[in-house]
Structures are given as C-alpha cells and as structure tokens.
Amino acid sequence: MSRSGSRIGAIALALAIAAAAPAQQPPLYPNGTYDASVPAPKAFLGYELGEKFTPHARIVSYLEAVAAASKRVKLQRIGETNEGRPLLQLAITSEANQSKLETIRKNILSLADPRTISDPKSVDDLVKSTPVIVWLSYGVHGNESSSAEAGMQAVYQLAAGTDEPTTKLLADAVVIVDPLLNPDGRDRYVNWFNSVVGASPNPDPQSAEHDEPWPGGRFNHFLFDMNRDWAWLTQKETRARIAQYLQWMPQVHVDYHEMGYNSTYFFFPAEAPINTNFPPKTVEWAKVFGKGNAEAFDAFGWPYYTAESFDLYYPGYGDSWPSLHGAIGMTYEQAGHSSAGLTVRRDDDTLLTLRDRVAHHFTSSLATIRTAVANREKLLRDFYDFRKSAIDEGEKESIKEYLIVPGKDPERASELVGLLLAQGVEVSRAKQPFVAEKLHGYLNDKWELEKFPEGTCIVSMKQPAKRLAKALLEPEAEVTKLYFYDISAWSLPLAYGVKAYWTEVPTTVEKEALKARPVIEGKVDGATDGAVYYLIPWDTNGAPRALYQLLAEGFLARVAGKTFTLDGKDFARGTIVVPTSGNPPAVRQRMDKLAKDNHLVVTAAKTGLTEKGINLGSEQVSPLRLPKIAVAMGEGVSSTSYGAIWFLLEQEYGIPFTPIQVRSIGDADLSKYNVLIFPDDGGGYGPAIDKDATQRIKDWIERGGTFVGVGGGAFWATQEQSKLAPVSMADKEEKGADSKSDAPATGGDEKKVDDSTSGGGAAASASAPPKEQKKPKERMKIEEQEAEARKRQVPGTILAVDLDPAHPLAFGYDERIYVLKSGSQAFNLTKVGFNVGSFLPEKVSGYISKENEEKIGKKAFLVEIPMGRGHVVLYADDPTFRLFWKGLTRLFLNSVLLLSKP
C-alpha cells in the first residue's frame, strides 16, 4: 500500500473511532426527577453509565452510597465469591413498605405455602394488601457486561426517582436487585478489556478489544457456567443466591444476558419446548410481560423478538428454576456480549454502543416492574394457585412419592437429599423399615411390594414445591419438540447413581421431616488393637478422598484386584488395603479419623488369611503411589471441563495438581508427574501440540505415565488425530449444535417423541412397515435439512454403559452405569487394549434417534490402552460434567488414583 493510501486508511479509522466516541448522551429516563441527596451514577463514578465498564469494587461502593442515602433501599451482603468479592442484594420499595418489610416477606411465604392458610378470606386479604415481589438478576455471565451497568441505573431510578410513575411502582412492589451474580468473571473481563483498549474504543470487530482470550469472563473463578448451576448448587455464589431466593419467593424473576452483537433484543415468551411440569398459566404470563416490554421498546422504535432460540426446558437456568417454584421466570437477551466492547460496528454498518445496551436492559427492567404492578393482585393470586395446585396434583397424579434408598453409599444419597432440601423441596425420612406398594424403578421396571430400610428418604409430591421436585427427580422429562438449547436429560437419581423408586401409593411408615441432610457416621468396624490390616471399601465417593490423604501423608496403601471374604464379610475388587506393617503406629488413630471425616465404614482385620478369595498378602493386592498430576489448560481446552476437573480435584478431594498451558506441554518436564489430564476440548488441541510434543507425551507414557483424555481431549489421542494411541473414533459425527454451550440447537416444527425417539431398548415390531427411503441431503429443501439435523442430534442423553468390573477403572461399580452422552462420537471397540465401558443400545432418558441409539450402542465409552509401563485412558464423554453427575466421580478418580503403581 502507498503512503497516501496508508494516510487515507488512518484517517478513515480515526473518523470511525471519533464517531464511536461517546457524545453527550440523552438521559436513560427522559424527564425524570430525582432526590438530590441520592448520588447519581455520573456524580459518583465520574462518567455516564455506558461510557466505561465499571469494576465490581466501584459498583459495590456506588450501591452502598445509594443505600446510605435512600430510605427506600435495604442493602445486605449475602456472601462472597471465591476471590473474596462481596455478593450484594438490595430490597427497594417505598418508605412505607420498608417499615413493614419483614411482614411483607412473611406474607409472601404464607402464600407460598397454602397449607398455612385455612381461611380463603385470608388469601383474599393477603392478595389485596401485599406488594408483588420482583427479582432482577444482573450479570450471571461476567462478560455479558451491560447488565451490571443497567442494574446500577435501575437501582438509582428506584432509589431516587421522585416522578409519579416511579413512586407508584414502589408503593405496590418490592424489587429485589441482585446487582452482579458473577463478580469474579466480570472483573476478569473488565480488567482484560481495560488492558487492551486504546485511548478511544475501536469499533472494528477485528480489533483486539473484541477478541477476548481464554477462559473469558463468562464463568466464575472455577470456570463454572452459573446459569447452568441453579438446580445443582455446586458453586458458593449459587448457594448464597438460592438461600436468599427461598426467603423471598418472588412472583417475577428476570435473568439478564447478552448474545451476539448482530442480534437485537430477546424477551419472553420462550421458544418451545416448554418443560411439561409448567402449567399453562406460566406461558400465558410470559406473553403478558412480553407485551409490556414490546410497548416500552416500540416507544423508542427499538427492534426485538420473542419465542425464538431460548426455551424453557432444562431446569437449571435462571428462568426455568424460578418458574418451577411459581415465579414468572424469564430470560432477557441484549445484543452485545464480550465481542461488543464499548462500541462495535455490526454487519449492517450500524454502531452498537455499551450505552445502547444499558438503555435496553434498563428499559426492560422498568417495563417488567410496571407490568408486575399493573397485574399485582392477579400475579399474587396465580402464585398462590401455582403452589396450591402443585399440592393438589401431587395427590391426584400417578407419582405419589419418590423413595431414595441409602444403598452402598449412604453419604451420596444424603448429598442428593441435601441438594433437594437446599432448593426448598420437602423430604422426610423413614423411622423404621417398611413395605411400599406399586413401585416403579427408573428403567421401566415395577414391583407390587418391596421392603425398604429405616433411613429411606421420601419425597412426597403432595407439597408446594412438587413441580420442581418432579422435574429434578422424574426418570425422564417429556420431549415435545426436537429442539434443545441444552441437555435433554438430568434425572438426579441416575446422575448421582443412587437407588430410587417412585410409588403409585403413598407410604404409611412413620416419618420425620428433615431440616438438614442425614448425617452419615463413619467408623472403624472391629478392634483396632492387634489389627494387621485396615480395609476401605471402594464403593463410596468418600473412599478416594481417604486414599489420597493416606498417600499424601506417606502411609502405604494397596488395592485388591480380586474379591475376598474375611470374617464372613465379602469385599469387592478395589478394596483399599492398608497394612499396619510398614506404616507408622499413628496409622491406627489416623484410620479412625479418616473413617469419620469421610463417612466410611472401615474394617480392622486381625489376619490376612481370608476364608475365600485372595489373601491380603497376594500379588493381586497391588501397591499404590501418590498421584502427581498435570492438567492441560488454555486456548483449545474447554473452560468448563477444565473448571470441573479443577474444582473436583482441589475443592472436593483436596488433590493438588499443576495446570499447564497446552502450548507449553511440548516443552514441559513431564517427568515431574505421573498423571496428565487433557480435559474436553474447546476448539482443538491439534494446533498447539505438534508431532514432536506428541512423541514426548508418548515417551513419558511408556516410562510409566498415565494419560487421561476426556471428550475432545480423548479424541485428540486417536488415530484420526494425533495417533498417540491405537484407538480409532467411531464414525465422525455431524455434531450440529453444541448442547452444552449457549449456542442453541437448530429449531423447527414440533415432533412428538413416539415417532422420533427411542427408549428402554424396546425392539421394533416385527410387523413394522419397511423404513422409508431417506432422501439424499442434496435433494432436501432447507426445512427438511433442518428437521434431519434435529433428528441426528444427541443433545445430552442418558445412556447405559456396560462395565468390565475386573478392570481397575471399574473398581467400585456394578456392571452397569449411566452416563450423559452428548454428540454421537465414541470409540470403535479396541482389540489392543481394554474396552472398560461399552455403550449399550439402550437409551435410558432424554432424546436420541433410533439410528444413533443403535450406532452408539456398538461403540466404547471408556478404553484403556497399556503402553510400555504406562496407560492411556480415554473417556468419550466428560464424567465430571457440571459436577452434578456424582455417580461417575469415582470412575474418573480411578484413572488418577488406581493405575499409578510404584
């Protein structure tokens, strides 16, 4: 390019940047009047909202200043993030309502539990006199950055506005504001953006400020997507929020988001499918609020859309979870996201600014409150009716109760019960053994009568939280349309791997209502004096923690590769054998504490001579070594997969590891480690790891290292990619949409499940008509291609896997487990290693086509390839997915703890 051309280009760029620079901004609330004693955002921050990104600390300072100046605002700290940032909540209403705020809250809780109100007139009185509760949640995804700025403007308007429309809103509503759900992620994004932006924002989408690096600010500290965590409560931010939510039980909840900058604005009603646990009124109310938002946006001529892309099916979102509790839960999506920066030029050559995005979210906030206030009595009445009809349905519908059996791992069953209790679901516990009638299992099996032990937990459907409880516990959510924004199956008993049933007849056993999860007492069984071995069963999720603690403290431990019987008690493969010989005397006291801390029943054995099976001095009882772990991270790695492994190892099991950037693995000294984990990929490992680096990994494995690949990290190791291991991928899939991201699957017309899905492994009728000849893709019209793509998707479906119980990776498990399968990729059955887990042609829950069910049913989920002195372990899907799939925790930890030998 000539110098003159360069000057022209520079001038054009300068003009574009100048055009994008903030000019005098019109007010976000035209003709507003305000209490001068309450600081306005500009007066406090030094800039108009939308001109800069506000760091979390400044947001906190501003909100504290507003709360100190306004008698309409009550602010409290409800917790803190993993990085120590405070989590705030504001309750904003009129001064008159503030003086009786606790009474208002208790009145709402009375409406939330219709059993506490015996007189219908009392319901009428509460509906007429009680303000509606509107909860506004901003910034669950930290790099969807406009909502926290809009939240400050909404707080200011409600706290300081003196115009009649604002004061009328506050007379009839209590607005709960969560100003920033994800402070850690937001500051990660804001700090990065401020480090790369120039003196003025550059609207060119190719500019660095529009290209956020890994892992991005979307996620919290541990890289969890907290908009998927509402029902699983794995993160402390979620737990703090849910605890407060149950104290208020709002009638309206809005979750503020952003999407691609070329879009416009989305508000409810939602796209189908709608979870069938919702009554029709939930959908009708979404239309009412959509109309209110549309009127507000039409007044400014702003574009928007409804009923596309964003469904109401998966129960772990900030719209679906509140809705299952009776609120009108909604997602609002503004064009923008991290790639929008402060200003960006869109494909249609228009500029989208942060100020625009703030204005839209602020406007929808006020419109939502207005609609709620205009329909206050009806909203309160319908909220009461939602909770009352839930009780009535629980009495009339076929599922009367769910029974959760303590089983082999009572601590895991207790953890599931604790999860339900933390979400406001009522659970009771049987005080004695009992017999239940008309039972159904989770695999279409049923019994007329069955005995249950004392301690069985019972979840009655005759309760106000019935719809949430049923959505979480039912074996399968009904599929009404082949469109999935997220996974299609999540049944908690299957995910946790606990034995559960449902009954057609309520149990009559004496019960106690639980206020907290059952406490499982650990102990050492048998006299420790004279014990020569301690035996730790490997069928509980506490056992790996105990084993790691022993190894980390220098104690010797071994694993039994065969079964045995001692003192009349059977011990399975995987039993951890801790000898007293060779260990310091403190091992006796240590075992007692380990048993209690990890809720284990440890057996003290006075002899190594067994009655049956191997003796405890057998070569089949192999020594174990302390795992020294490295985990790949960085560009190319799935942030959430890495985050789940990080949280599992460090937070849940106290197992340290070294994170290594993928790009540095080729130069890393792998001799420091004996385990190397590749999480699922987030773009592919290939570009960062060349042939030389792959060979170094292979040499490390042959010297005794264990390579663990998960999802895309496993497929990287196959013959189709790096050729690290002699394993091949089953047919390369056409993935379609990624059901585990915010990229929605392709939508389309409704399709009932009876002719599109497969379930229970049922065989096709012998008299079935011949299959219709499939039209070649090139002959399909657009809508036909979309329908075909929907049929092919595997959007997160529970499948059965057949395990080889003799392999160390399967120790502690029965022969059948249940995994969440996403996408159709798997491994061809290997002839050179071990097919530890193979898919069965048996869909358990969720959507899958018969074609995919049969195809995947012939493939491997988990393979292990011995290489020299080491191992390659490959999982076709992520056993740590979102960390609520507790049933596979030990399966993953087996690859870390049980393969590394001295």
Is residue 456 over pLDDT 80? yes
Model confidence pLDDT, tens digit, residues 631-643? 999 999 999 999 9
Confidence of residue 684 (pLDDT cuts 50, 70, 90): confident
Confidence of residue 23 (pLDDT cuts 50, 70, 90): low
Q: Which two tokens stand for residue 820?
A: 């969440």
| Beta-bridge partners for 344 | 352
pTM of the model: 0.92
Is residue 756 over pLDDT 70? no
What sections of 538-638 are H helices per DSSP? 543-552, 587-597
Least confident piece of the model among 76-90, 115-129, 185-199, 779-793: 779-793
pLDDT of residue 740: 37
Contact between residue 291 and residue 217 where contact means Cβ atoms under 8 Å apart: no
Mean pLDDT of 5-15: 40
% of the chain at pLDDT higher than 70: 92
Q: What span, in angstroms and rounded, lies between the C-alpha atoms of 276 and 436?
A: 27
Q: Is 150 left (phi over 0), alpha (psi -120 to 50) or beta?
A: alpha
Mean pLDDT of 119-142: 97
Is residue 363 over pLDDT 60? yes
Greatest C-alpha distance within the chain: 93
% of the chain at pLDDT higher than 90: 86
Is residue 761 over pLDDT 80? no
pLDDT of residue 450: 87
840 vs 732, higher pLDDT: 840
Least confident piece of the model among 385-394, 444-453, 589-598, 648-657: 444-453
Is residue 3 over pLDDT 70? no
Confidence of residue 783 (pLDDT cuts 50, 70, 90): confident
Is residue 159 over pLDDT 90? yes
Q: What are phi and psi of 448, to 5 degrees?
A: -75, -40
Mean pLDDT of 329-339: 97
Q: What span, in angstroms and rounded, lies between the C-alpha atoms of 154 and 135?
A: 12
Compute the residue count for the chain.
902
pLDDT of residue 772: 52
Is residue 737 over pLDDT 70? no
Confidence of residue 900 (pLDDT cuts 50, 70, 90): confident
pLDDT of residue 182: 98
Contact between residue 792 and residue 777 where contact means Cβ atoms under 8 Å apart: no
pLDDT of residue 26: 82
Is residue 444 over pLDDT 90? no
Residue with tokens 């002195």: 869
Model confidence pLDDT, tens digit, residues 487-535? 999 999 999 999 999 999 999 999 999 999 999 999 999 988 889 999 9
Q: Which two tokens stand for residue 881?
A: 């997915």
Q: Which two tokens stand for residue 667?
A: 């130069």
pLDDT of residue 325: 98
Least confident piece of the model among 384-398, 645-659, 723-737: 723-737
pLDDT of residue 24: 61
Contact between residue 470 and residue 461 where contact means Cβ atoms under 8 Å apart: yes
Q: What span, in angstroms and rounded, lies between the C-alpha atoms of 789 and 792?
A: 5
Residue with tokens 């309750």: 91
With CA atoms as reference, report the closest residue to 821 among 496, 495, 474, 492. 495
Q: What span, in angstroms and rounded, lies between the C-alpha atoms of 327 and 343?
A: 35
Confidence of residue 15 (pLDDT cuts 50, 70, 90): very low
Q: What span, in angstroms and rounded, lies between the C-alpha atoms of 431 and 507?
A: 12
With CA atoms as reference, report the closest residue to 714 among 885, 880, 545. 880
Mean pLDDT of 55-69: 98
Is residue 812 over pLDDT 70? yes
Confidence of residue 18 (pLDDT cuts 50, 70, 90): very low
Is residue 256 over pLDDT 90? yes
Q: Please give the mean pLDDT across all residues of the chain.
A: 92
Q: What span, in angstroms and rounded, lies between the C-alpha atoms of 98 and 110?
A: 19
Confidence of residue 788 (pLDDT cuts 50, 70, 90): confident
CB within 8 Å of 29: residues ≥ 6 apart: 153, 157, 161, 362, 366
pLDDT of residue 901: 79
DSSP reduced 3-state for 803? strand
Is residue 192 over pLDDT 70? yes
Is residue 546 over pLDDT 60? yes
1 vs 327, higher pLDDT: 327
- For residue 791, which amino acid is it? K
693 vs 785, higher pLDDT: 693
Is residue 79 over pLDDT 60? yes
Least confident piece of the model among 174-183, 511-520, 771-780: 771-780
